[in-house]
Amino acid sequence: MSLTNCKINLLIAVKLFFIMNFENSKYVNSVEKTLHTFLPGKITTDWVEKAIGKAKWEQDTEALTKAVSEPVWDFLDRGGKRWRPVLMMVCCEAVGGNTSKILPFTVIPELIHNGTLIIDDIEDNSELRRGKPVLHKRFGVDIAVNAGNAIYFLPYVAIQNSDLPDETKRKAYEIISTQLLKCHFGQAIDIWWHSGKSGKIPTLEEYLQMCADKSGSLACMAAKLGALLGGGTDEQVQALGNFAEAGGVVFQIQDDILNLAENQSIGKEIGDDINEGKRTLLVIHTLNVASEAEKKRLLELLDMHTKDEKLLKEAINIIKKHGSIEYAKKTAIGLAEDALKTIDEVLLESEAKKELRALVKLVLNQIV
């Protein structure tokens, strides 16, 4: 059955925003090979020297293999769409760049993304990731924290060992460091909100900014790096970054909605966001339109961090009662439309631009 003949709802369409066609993309196999070349399963002295320079005394490469390479590859081998590296290459192509030349740099957003997942699992005290015990349960908290942090910084090696012009290197470093800091700022705000200690209802603008920082920053990083390394103008680099960031926000809203759906299939229990006390867009909307009694009750339920099915359903029913799911859908549609305008204004027509445009239009055309 063709996609155009399918009735795809918002939940599926938003996810397709970035990953449709990417799983079978011409780029994915190349990205996978590049990851294996960049971080080998067995660490050698030569590899360490290329990464951090010649040792003054002697490196224990076996320890590095056991405490960095093996846990990281345990995590990477669990799968993942690898859509950030693919997005990076599509953005490179969209500005007229040579994708084969930027392939070595596609490890940057993928490794950093997986580093955030490793640390996030520790922060959330999670049990499973992609169907297997989380890394800190398999290797210990100390190794997991260190490995997760290491792959935040390891990608810089791809730039420092390249023959890129100094100015391009400087801009790449700036993109990575800025977006990684944004990611942590967004995470900090989200953690503070769902701790129940803030004593305020976040505004729509605050929520969208939190999502842009937490969920959109790494997509923005990938898009900007692709455009930069593809030789794009400053305007194109910024526009494609904005485009990808908006997609990250839409993706987060989709997850907010899906978490309350009875037919979800994302590997999480229904109402996990309620249990974690998260101030999602749906919760924020409900708190702004509900009666004082309902607002007070919803906040009580969120701050309980309960797993009681009856209490979770009570919270979900309050949210559904006030049309918050429909409100979130409309917000996501608006963001997708804005993203489409962003790329239309700065990119010449190309197959890559058509692909990016098609993904956004899929969201707009298939929402029911």
3 state SS of 275? helix
Residues whose CB falls within 8 Å of the CB of residue 340, separated by 6 or more in sequence, listed in order: 357, 360, 361, 364
Distance (Å, rounded) from C-alpha 362 to C-alpha 120? 31
Q: Is it the case that residue 83 has pLDDT exceeding 90?
A: no
Q: Is it the case that residue 368 has pLDDT exceeding 50?
A: no
pLDDT at 101: 95
Query: What integer is the mean pLDDT of 268-278?
Result: 81
Q: Confirm if 84 and 91 have CB atoms less than 8 A apart.
A: no
pLDDT at 144: 98
Residue 198 maps to which CATH number? Answer: 1.10.600.10
pLDDT digits (tens, 9 = 90+) for 156-173: 999 999 999 999 999 999
Residue 294 maps to a domain: no
3 state SS of 162? coil
Residue 271 maps to a domain: no
pTM of the model: 0.88
Distance (Å, rounded) from C-alpha 45 to C-alpha 55? 9
Please count the structural domains in the chain. Answer: 1
Distance of CA 17 to the CA centre of its chain: 13
Residue 304 maps to a domain: no
Residue 51 maps to a domain: no
Instruction: Give the type of residue at 123.
Output: E
pLDDT digits (tens, 9 = 90+) for 8-65: 344 344 344 444 444 445 677 888 899 999 999 999 999 999 999 999 999 999 999 9
Average pLDDT of every residue of the chain: 88
- The residue range of the domain holding 138 is 8-43+75-258+323-366
Distance (Å, rounded) from C-alpha 23 to C-alpha 270? 26
Q: Is it the case that residue 197 has pLDDT exceeding 60?
A: yes
Q: Confirm if 266 and 258 have CB atoms less than 8 A apart.
A: yes
Residue 275 maps to a domain: no
pLDDT at 25: 56
Closest by CA position to 297, among listed 285, 309, 280, 314: 314
Residue 125 maps to a domain: yes
Residue 293 maps to a domain: no
Helices 83-94 and 234-258 pack at an angle, to 10 degrees, of: 150
Residue 328 maps to a domain: yes
pLDDT at 26: 63
Q: Is it the case that residue 366 has pLDDT exceeding 70?
A: no
Distance (Å, rounded) from C-alpha 109 to C-alpha 289? 39
